[in-house]
Amino acid sequence: MNRIKTRRLTAYEKRNLALRWIIYAFIILLCFVFLTSGSFRKPLILIPVALCISSYAREHNAVITGIICGLLLDIVCNKLFGFNAIILMLMCAGISLLYKYYLTNKFLNFLVLSASGIFIQGILDYFFFYAIWEYSNVSLIYTDHILPCCIYTLISAFAVYPVIHSINRMLRPQIIRTIEEAVISDDDQQA
């Protein structure tokens, strides 16, 4: 199958690309610091951050983002090292593919996917770390801890999306959707 060749990035675009990933790394680090500080209940903000970055990234970048955020989440939540990494990696790869083939970058799409991701992670966490060990009153863990945490995390997604979206608007090479747009863009470049 013949593949459409993508044009090479200009130096300006390359610089923007590097800057974009540096800012992403800084945001991830900031979220990690937030999650480790204080004994109060916190949203697992690394989940929406990873999912949102993946919605703008290619599959392999999304996979790496998912693994890094997942491993950091394993450290802050003291879970089995790699548990959240696998979950987030699969989610991020899935989201990247969904956006590549079927979805457009709209807030509602992100919200629905984030909600699904957050609740799936919550259910898996509850099942593997509490339910299968059959503690007494184990359902309280879900109702009093995991469910509120999922809701907080979902609320945090409202703050995450505008930040990542703005970074992408400023620093990502524009995707040309129509032939007319491509012609205009080509004319601009020639000018």
Partner 1 sequence: MGDFFRQHRFRILICIIALLVGMMLYSVTQEGKAAPGSSILNTILSPLQGSANNLSEKSESFLSSFTNGSQYQAELEELKKENAQLKNELTDFEETKQQLAELQQFMGIKEENETHTYSEPCTIIGYVANDPFHGFIINKGSDDGISLHDPVITGEGIVGIISTISSNSATVETILSPDLSIGAISANNKNTGIAEGEIALASQYKCRMIYLEKDSDLQKGDLITTSSASGLFPKGYLIGTVESVEIMESGLSKYAVIVPAVDFESMTSVAAIIDYPGKGETHEQD
Q: What residue ranges bind partner 1 (CB under 8 A)? A: 29, 32-42, 44, 59-60, 63, 67, 71-72, 74-78, 80-83, 85-86, 89-90, 93, 97, 100-102, 135-138, 140-141, 144-145, 149
CA–CA distance, 102 with 120 (Å, rounded to integer): 21
Q: How far is the CB of 189 from partner 1 (least distance, A)?
A: 30
Closer Cβ to partner 1, 75 or 111, answer by number: 75
Closer Cβ to partner 1, 52 or 68, answer by number: 68
Q: How far is the CB of 90 from partner 1 (least distance, A)?
A: 8
Closer Cβ to partner 1, 5 or 38, answer by number: 38
CA–CA distance, 158 with 57 (Å, rounded to integer): 19
Closer Cβ to partner 1, 78 or 189, answer by number: 78
The token pair at 152 is 């907080």
**Between the CA of residue 83 and those of 23, 67, 70, 72, 121, what are the distances in Å?**
26, 10, 8, 11, 10
CA–CA distance, 119 with 177 (Å, rounded to integer): 34
Query: Where are the alpha helices (H) located in 40-175, listed in sequence order?
Result: 46-55, 59-77, 83-101, 107-129, 139-140, 147-171
